[in-house]
Amino acid sequence: MERTALVTGGAGYIGMLACAELAAGGRRVRALDNLLHGQREQADQLRAQGVELVEGDIRDPDARARALAGVDEVVHLAAIVGDPACAVDPALAHEVNVEGSRALVRDAREAGVARMVFASTCSNYGRMADPTVPITEDGELAPVSLYAEQKVGIERALLEDDFAPLLPTCLRFATVYGVAPRMRFDLTVNEFTRDLWAGKHLEVFGEQFWRPYAHVRDVARAVVLVLDTEVERVGRRVFNVGRSGENYRKLDLVEEIRRQTDRGEVSYVARTEDPRDYKVSFDRIRAELGFETLMTVPDGIAEVLAGLEAGRFGDAFARAHRNTD
């Protein structure tokens, strides 16, 4: 029987590709998005692909009701995404990321939705005592930002409370990069690549800190894989999403970009305000679900450079390509 999947934030950076992957797998797809970043072009693309778009906010009960009607599965991506965006307006971040998520979960349960994938983040691990040892899903959570604190809170509710018949799966995404229909240039790999390609002087803070990275298409593929897996294997569980070999320092990222372009200049600036420092293990999703990423950071850099050279993104410094001013 054909399943219907709702993707909240479906016109976003990950959401556009998640909708495409779900549709390619034979599902009916509905997207709920308030088009916060002016994604009119992306909205038209979704409709052209056969995705039903509900323009609305997850904080709006009527929008949630319309979006959830007849739905079997929910992919919850909608959020004020990232530490900088949450810091700009903490009250809004709480309304959307906490209250909006709680309301969506409650309404989905009452609507009889069977499955939910909750988009979380590896930022939940914060600063590790020994960042050279990759942390697993069972490791200590030590969020150091409002965004990660909010994700940890929703995760705990989903895993500890009973929302039957709804069975959630929490996916902790590595830092995402790569080309997508709703392009973002406020993500480390994409931003560094753009700035050096444009011949700018790039100042890098915390170049020695570790972070995992995953391509946006691989993240979308992981979402669909979880929904295609028997619920007994993934329900009320957590999976890190990425590849164990794709942990990098910012220094490593710059060196890799330098291998592919000689433009721009780089300087390293000492700063300790962002204490996140963690390597992450992605062995569970590989061993238990057979998930393998198809792209690496060098692949993503090459892809972004090619897109910039082709003028694919218009003004790569435009407000539409970032989540904060």
Token pair of 310, please?
């082709």
Burial label for 126, CB within 10 Å (0-12, 13-18, 19+), is buried
Q: Is 116 helix (H, G, I), strand (E, B) or coil?
A: strand
Interatomic CA distance for residues 216 and 119, integer angstroms:
13
Tokens 């949450």 -> residue:
86
Interatomic CA distance for residues 105 and 154, integer angstroms:
10
- Half-sphere exposure of residue 131, counting CA atoms within 13 Å on the CB side? 20
Indicate the Cα dihedral angle 213, 216, 220, 226, nearest 10°: 0
| Alpha-carbon distances, residue 320 vs 58, 222, 227, 313 (angstroms) | 21, 26, 30, 10
Burial label for 117, CB within 10 Å (0-12, 13-18, 19+), is buried
Burial label for 242, CB within 10 Å (0-12, 13-18, 19+), is buried
Question: Among the options 13, 125, 147, 213, which is catalytic?
Answer: 147
Is 147 labeled as catalytic in the residue annotation? yes
Contacts of 149 (CB under 8 A, 6+ apart): 143
For 272-306, letters b (16+ CB in 10 Å) and e give eeeebbbbbbbebbbeebebebebbbeebbbbbbe
| Residues with catalytic roles | 147
